[in-house]
Amino acid sequence: MTLGSDIEAALPALRAEAKSRMKETVTVGSFTDSTDPDTMQPVRTLVTERYTGKARLRYGSLTAASTATGSDQIAQPIVVQTPYLSVPWGTPRLFEGDEVRVDDSRNPLLPGRTYQVAGNGVGETAHRYPLTELS
């Protein structure tokens, strides 16, 4: 046995573990602006669905240095929270520009929020996509 073959053998169990941690339900695809016929309020309507199901939405931290302008200012680090979406291994590919709508979550702050896929997915246990928050 080699380390590579040991890891390869463990991947199915690790993928199941990753999926068990996905507590959000999302809809991913292209949306269009429309009007709710009952309330006459503006809404986003799904046009093309790429994925609907379990996911994990998390915020990572990225520290960047600020540039100070002027002799009396001191440069300080800026911390930016960057969201990313994990979907189960084997999920159809999501594309840059696809919208992500959070339909359900244990976190009461997430349902109804929308994001846009900002890059390609990576990962061996789940597909992880960088996001940009829209609302």
User: Domain count of the chain?
Assistant: 1
The reported pLDDT for the residue numbered 21 is 93
Name, in order, each residue with C-beta under 8 angstroms of 31's C-beta and a sequence gap of 6 or more: 44, 45, 46, 47, 99, 101
Q: How confident is the model at residue 4 (pLDDT cuts 50, 70, 90)?
A: confident
The reported pLDDT for the residue numbered 85 is 97
**Which tokens belong to 39?**
């309330």
The reported pLDDT for the residue numbered 7 is 85
What are the distances in angstroms from CA 17 to CA 22, 23, 36?
9, 12, 39
CATH number at residue 117: 2.40.10
**Is 116 within 8 Å of 97 (Cβ atoms)?**
yes
Q: Which helix (H) or strand (E) holds 110?
A: none
Asked whether the predicted pLDDT for residue 19 surpasses 80, the reply is yes
**What domain range is 91 assigned to?**
3-133
The reported pLDDT for the residue numbered 8 is 86
pLDDT tens digits, one per residue of 49-63: 999 999 999 998 766
More confident residue, 9 or 118: 118
Q: What are phi and psi of 9, to 5 degrees?
A: -70, -30
